Chain A
């Protein structure tokens, strides 16, 4: 029963290259050059999918990226599977498999089809209206709705393909390689503009390449022949890059565009391996020429969605370009002359055209006369009122249209057919144009939205700006090219064009039926099953804004973004509400124009390239010694060093004890380091820190607290004076980049008169922090000739020295409260330094400790960590650090804010220590603190910011911020947890060695 549906194509199909592929498990054959859609049509397969809501059988409707129905799952069940792919865009290759979506158990017999018969119960907003009550049931409803919602299936294993990003710069970007795009690109390159021409299809030429109206001529040749010669000439032009299979997804401001170049999707599986599948082109163009063409509109009539009902232009393309006839008994339904060209295409190939139904009263163009002469019956002023055929169209019923187009009269005529071509005119593809921020205006005569106010250096040419006839295209293109490229002549100046004039038009957005609207199904959005009825219902229910109607009815919200039906939706709304389309406007066209894969969006930034990470020079040692790591900003920091299967708690307890009892060593290389030089360096520090710096002696260190202008603590760290005009500042690990940025900001914008130079040297030094009562002995072993006596090298001072021949900077500073040294060497000696310390410390059982132990040790001393104990709402006064705020300095960043009424409130949250009644109970960080335990709501006084079990004190300790906490010393508070309440007492936040005796131990 196989019919031969192949006819002679215009040479784009390689009939010597037969390809087999599977669709829904069945093997079919096509030829190289076929799309999945053309190959299926050649096998007489129209039914390819089911609609989203009603599960109605749907067929291939178009031949391009606007396809609403034929969306398929490619290579189902494999790790390369991709859902929601338009069959009209898939080039077939040997071994391709595809399946229908949204149907179960099969597209031929789909249980969900019951929804079609229940459709009176599924009006617009059905889900909103039905699943509102009772509110508590939503979670149950959601389970079932989620189950039936969604299209296609995502792959279950990771993507085997490689994706890429590339930056592209050009003088002129031409989007679309139809006749306008080709001529624009050719003339731009001839005038020495570096030009990029992109085309979403795999062939150049657009629709002109299969143009067949014998009454249209360019230089006395058929336009298709003429254009083929032009394309041939493009190949020799330098300065022109052509990218096919490349779809522009987004057009942003300043002529920044994103395009997806498809490199391997059309190749057999064996040829896909180790190649880049898709590449995202990030294009910056000086000028953009939009030649995106136009999309044919369907007509909106009762049951306009059956398999076999297609766009008239698609039928022509399948016949002329792919050599495939879509039906054996064809009927066309039109409001313009283009359907007559499609009809002649079939007629000339010996295919039966039963009739043309035209809503116009007449047309006098030559092509129409030709059709009449061919003996094809034309029904003028008629409309289709219904269609029949469940899985394939088998007939249409037509009636005479009234003069005003709102009703039908006379008797019904039924015409048997298996394919219907609909031609509702053309919609310029202005999606990218509006994405760029440019504005449209409605042309009442052509019934289209046209480019009006350009937002950037761009022009629209050809049918995307409403020029549908070759003579207007060439004339307007020529003029625009001269203006935008600033050139005097082009090779379009002497082209002679003859065209077949079309002079009658009639546009009816919603065609009437003999049945009332409520009993009909005129689909406006095929993919989402939105009908004209739903749109009118939305208007009756009070929706007025086009954006609201869209969301309520879901018109234009499918994967096709309503490329076919949006104009009709607008037209129906305008007619029903009695407003002009120009006043109604359009919905917003958002990127991407066609869907992008996640792979293309992320490119190479996957796996370990997902985010940058930074490692210290000692990193290898930490790995060799089995450290666990934690992320601090982008840094990977050693967290703790478990031995023999220790838990984190056990490791941290051991490390903490060792650091206080003998010696510990910490990799502190991640601390931010900023080199500050210049004759005003001291003055600068005076202004950015809360304390005074002018009198700091050379070779001395000082702790500083940096505020924001709002008085809140921003960062802290120790700064060392290396020379008269030379300091080295340390910042927190996470704050380093922001602190530098903030200091540069003040220097450049507020205090440009200061002679100060800042250099980030974080990565230039490796830092080992040696701490504990034996740290001095260890350092002595490493640098025997350095005098480490308290007189020569006291706490908070600095020495420049050498370890062997390696220069080092040593600061005697402490974040643990123990006697300790921070040793800085050039970064590439970091691991050597660390190993030397470990070797020298062996006899003292030197213990490497990580960030967790560092946090515990400093908490025992009540030292804050900016960002843990502070959160951008804590002043130094709140932290009980009044001692660090200079009263004498006239000004520093944030000073004035410390005297605002709000920052001076007594009942602000203040940092305190907390001790639990049961010393073994460790509080949870973030736990809430209250003063009473009533049943009802109680005021939250604050929260726990740091909490540990201290092995050195053998009890639980915590830091917390508590409202008015300063005056609560000794007061009992409560921490309500899920299963219990914990009793705590407010304490001094310095838990250990309050007199700082250990610093000099």
Chain B
């Protein structure tokens, strides 16, 4: 059970959070301009890395804010947490 440092509330138990999949996949601004393949890339394709992964998390049972997390999936070490819209830390 992780201890997650919500950027708005501080350290809270993982129970309060919801994982939201891979981070930094921006919704295309002009979807109609995209080919089926390009749209499918946005819609379906997600990475599942053993190692450092960028993820979205939501403090669902707390402030309900979304934020980003850098997590090593091999040992669950949380390497960084930053707000939505902020640049990911360089590795």
Contacts and interface: CB of A to CB of B under 8 A. Distances in A.
Interface string B16-55: 0010100000111011101010011001000000000000
B85 A745 contact: no
A254 B20 contact: no
Interface of B: 1-3, 13, 18, 20, 26-28, 30-32, 34, 36, 39-40, 43, 56, 58, 60, 64-66, 75-76, 84-85
A896 B75 contact: no
Nearest to A253: B76
Contact of B1 (A254, A455, A891, A897): A254
B85 A752 contact: yes
Interface string A880-915: 000000000011000111011100000000000000
Given A254-B3, A437-B75, A900-B36, A891 B60 contact: no
B84 A896 contact: no
B34 A896 contact: yes
Interface in A749-788: 749-750, 752
A897 B32 CA distance: 9
B20 A709 contact: no
Given A254-B2, A891-B32, A748 B43 contact: no
A890 B32 contact: yes
A896 B39 contact: yes
Nearest to A746: B27
Nearest to B29: A891
A745 B31 contact: no
Contacts of A455: 75
B66 A750 contact: no
B1 A752 contact: no
B3 A284 contact: yes
Contacts of A970: none
Interface-central residue, B31, B34, B60, B84, by most chain A CB under 10 Å: B31
A280 B13 CA distance: 17
Contacts of A633: none
A471 interface: no
Contacts of B65: 748
A15 to B, nearest CB: 46
Given A437-B76, A741-B60, A749 B84 contact: yes
A897 B56 CA distance: 23
Nearest to A737: B60
A253 B4 CA distance: 12
Contacts of B39: 896-897, 900
A661 interface: no
Contacts of B60: 741
A895 B31 contact: yes
A266 to B, nearest CB: 31
A709 B40 CA distance: 11
A542 to B, nearest CB: 29
Given A437-B75, A891-B31, A900-B39, A752 B20 contact: no
Contacts of B36: 900-901
A752 B30 CA distance: 17
A22 interface: no
A285 to B, nearest CB: 11
A252 B32 contact: no
A745 B32 contact: no
Contacts of A901: 36
Contacts of A891: 30-32
A299 B27 CA distance: 65
A992 interface: no
Contact size range, A = 20 to 34
18 contacts: A253-B2, A253-B76, A455-B75, A710-B43, A741-B58, A744-B66, A745-B66, A748-B66, A748-B84, A749-B84, A750-B26, A750-B27, A752-B84, A891-B30, A891-B32, A895-B31, A896-B32, A900-B40
A256 interface: yes
Contacts of B34: 896
Interface in A251-288: 252-256, 284
B11 to A, nearest CB: 9
A252 B1 contact: yes
A284 B1 CA distance: 10
Contacts of A709: 27, 43
Contacts of B76: 253-254, 437
A253 B31 contact: no
Given A253-B76, A900-B39, 17 more contacts: A254-B1, A256-B1, A437-B76, A710-B43, A741-B18, A744-B64, A745-B66, A748-B65, A748-B66, A748-B84, A749-B56, A750-B27, A752-B84, A896-B28, A896-B31, A896-B39, A899-B32
A710 B44 CA distance: 9
Contacts of B3: 254-256, 284
B13 to A, nearest CB: 8
Contacts of B58: 741, 745
Interface string A233-264: 00000000000000000001111100000000
Nearest to A437: B75
Interface in A366-422: none
Nearest to B1: A256
Nearest to A456: B77
Interface-central residue, A455, A745, A752, A890, by most chain B CB under 10 Å: A745
Nearest to A439: B75
Nearest to A890: B32
Contacts of A750: 26-27
A899 B35 CA distance: 10
Contacts of A752: 84-85
Interface-central residue, A253, A255, A284, by most chain B CB under 10 Å: A253
A253 B66 contact: no
Contacts of A284: 3, 13
Interface-central residue, A254, A890, A891, by most chain B CB under 10 Å: A254
A255 B14 CA distance: 13
A709 B27 CA distance: 10
Interface-central residue, A255, A891, A896, A900, by most chain B CB under 10 Å: A896
Nearest to A740: B64
B76 to A, nearest CB: 5
Q: Which 10 A-B pairs have the closest CB atoms?
A: A896-B31, A256-B1, A254-B3, A748-B66, A750-B27, A253-B76, A896-B39, A252-B1, A749-B66, A254-B2
A250 to B, nearest CB: 10
Contacts of B13: 256, 284
Nearest to B56: A749
Contacts of B43: 709-710, 897
A750 B29 CA distance: 10
Nearest to B34: A896
A750 B3 CA distance: 27
A745 B20 contact: yes
Nearest to B4: A254
A900 B44 CA distance: 13
